[in-house]
Structure 1
């Protein structure tokens, strides 16, 4: 909200404002007590935007599976839950966009195509759509919960393949925040595959890195 990406008007950002907001940021400040959600600070708000579309895709997939439908591809806002084969009897194929700055969402130039077999979820997070420019500086919608400022890592976009779409959605956002150096260890621990599109540091070009499992799925 403070940075202008929520449901309130953008505020004038100062170090003092960020420090005051950070005082009630963090998952450790909220807990379950039976069926009740308890907040340590009444100003704390829960925002599920990093998992909502992925979770919704999983719910639709579960509804299909409950009706004995085994071949499906559910996509909500770019987050995909999949199972089985496409109508041509082949694995589902999903394109991953190039990280082209475009707040309109019109540009859909593909970086590569990945083939999805079995059952699982795929999600992509990036800062090249939801952002604004002010005084020559780009402010993106992914906010680092530790610093309180928009993330300034080398990750332009992160795509994750996991056992379900909610997990893929959450981790794609996480990988945007933590930076490329920490991704491999997290992915290995959680048994997920990933694709990272990384900035060269100057904004003039980018490079692509991926897990071995993701690389085996690339068809183009």
Structure 2
């Protein structure tokens, strides 16, 4: 999910190359942009000595990839999916697992990392993309359910070897946090990390203000050719993630199928919620809840979000007349820019 960053000198625009060396920016800020995990990243930071951190960032990305990428056959998660008996979990996987289970329990299974067989079968996952016919949902549901896996020490135990994990709805947010922690370890007090639209930030932007993030208006625009802003938020010291159904979808026999799969029913969601933006203490948490809220729909998402004093959400949906409407928790108001 792409979001846009509004600074006083320029907007951060994703660039079609692997990595760019830091550029000199106002007030000693550097900016790194590039492509990772099949999406784009934008990193803005103020190092106390103006140090180039591209090498450190690349190394941390590679380390995280070796744990969490389903497109890397040597990663921890890929080896778990292929039932490699020698695989052991690492700190990245274990942190993801704990957060995923927490969100699964809080949302009654609306978030579930065992959704991989369903996502693949509907043509949205890392497996074969067959969109010509409907999958055997009943059979696939037998392989779905976060209670069918358990982390025991440094091993993930599956009740059925055919169970597969897909952490894409939480991993980009986690990666943003990971890079943020790296920047902090190097003395950066002001930074913004965005990976595929998931944001972790602290301190101030080069203008000395909170980081300004543009949330896109959810219109059917798979190529993101004509984006419009729905609103602008100002954040610092939190994570922000947006999930939506208006860019990844396809039509079959005249029916629209969105990429958000309800792991409880096995089918793509079919309701009026188009976009869910979550602000939380970490980007990993915000990422997972944004996906869960897209499964739950507007009313249930608001009800669950209001139970957490450290989390807020901003939801965009259509009313009976097909017009865009917004609903958000009371605490989200403080983030909306004047």
TM-score range normalised by the length of the shorter chain: over 0.9
1:32 to 103, 128, 151: 151
Listed one character per residue, the Cα deviations across residues 39-81 of structure 1 (whole Å, up to 9, x for unaligned) are 0011100100110110000000000011111100100000000
Distance 1:8 1:34 in 2: 32
Matched, 1:185 2:185: no
1:21 to 101, 116, 140: 140
Larger-Rg structure: 2
User: Which residue in the other structure is 2:171 paired with?
Assistant: 52
Unaligned runs of 5+ in 1: none
Q: Is the 8 A contact 2:274 2:294 kept in 1?
A: yes
Distance 2:307 2:331 in 1: 14
Give the aligned CA root-mean-square deviation in angstroms.
Answer: 1.3
Task: Provide the secondary structure at the position in 1 that maps to 2:168.
Answer: coil
User: Which residue in the other structure is 2:31 paired with?
Assistant: none
1:136 to 227, 232, 254: 254
Task: Provide the secondary structure at the position in 2 that maps to 1:43.
Answer: coil
Distance 1:183 1:156 in 2: 12
Distance 1:215 1:93 in 2: 14
State the shift of 1:201 in Å.
Answer: 4.2
Q: Which runs of 4+ in 1 moved over 6 A?
A: none
Distance 2:328 2:303 in 1: 13
Higher helix share: 2
User: Which residue in the other structure is 1:9 paired with?
Assistant: 129
Q: Is the 8 A contact 2:276 2:314 kept in 1?
A: yes
Higher strand share: 1
User: Which residue in the other structure is 2:283 paired with?
Assistant: 165
State the shift of 1:164 in Å.
Answer: 0.6
Task: Provide the secondary structure at the position in 2 that maps to 1:50.
Answer: helix
1:208 to 300, 317, 326: 326
State the shift of 1:214 in Å.
Answer: 1.1
Distance 2:231 2:201 in 1: 18
Q: How many residues align?
A: 216
Distance 2:151 2:335 in 1: 39
**TM-score, length-normalised on structure 1?**
0.94
Unaligned runs of 5+ in 2: 1-119
Distance 1:108 1:208 in 2: 18
State the shift of 1:167 in Å.
Answer: 0.3
Listed one character per residue, the Cα deviations across residues 140-181 of structure 1 (whole Å, up to 9, x for unaligned) are 100001111001122110000000100000000010001111
